[in-house]
Amino acid sequence: AAGVIQSPRHLIKEKRETATLKCYPIPRHDTVYWYQQGPGQDPQFLISFYEKMQSDKGSIPDRFSAQQFSDYHSELNMSSLELGDSALYFCASRREPGQGQGEQYFGPGTRLTVT
């Protein structure tokens, strides 16, 4: 079965550079979520999109922005990178069958290292 695809899988950037992470949801899934997981930490919700509109926002820095495109893929843009942005970034997708029931399917993550 098709899974969530994230690219790139690994990314190394220097401080103050920009990075773009991409997420391709499972076909027919209309909701995309982004999570950040720092070393030894639990995943933290960043932002989500439903039908190409932002649906919720978590602890996402102002330096980050994201969008969902007409084909439902999503991109997380990160600017002025800081050492503390080094983390695993997960994308998850879901189809909206109704509140509380649709499980999220997570991608393998992008490991971002800022040096």
Partner 1 sequence: DAKTTQPNSMESNEEEPVHLPCNHSTISGTDYIHWYRQLPSQGPEYVIHGLTSNVNNRMASLAIAEDRKSSTLILHRATLRDAAVYYCILFSGTYKYIFGTGTRLKVLA
List the interface residues with partner 1, window 49-78 (CB under 8 A): 50, 55-56, 58
Cβ nearer to partner 1, comparing 9 with 15: 9
Query: What DSSP letter does each residue of the chain carry, written as one string?
Result: ----EEE-SEEEE-TT--EEEEEEPPTT--EEEEEEE-TT---EEEEEEETTEEEEE-S--TTEEEEE-TTS-EEEEE-S--GGG-EEEEEEEE--SSTTTPPPEE---EEEEE-
Give yes or no for residue 26 binding partner 1 (CB under 8 A).
Answer: no
The minimum distance between CB 88 and partner 1, in angstroms, equals: 8
Give yes or no for residue 107 binding partner 1 (CB under 8 A).
Answer: yes
* Positions in the binding site for partner 1 (CB under 8 A): 4, 31, 33, 35, 42-45, 48, 50, 55-56, 58, 88, 90, 92, 98-101, 103-109
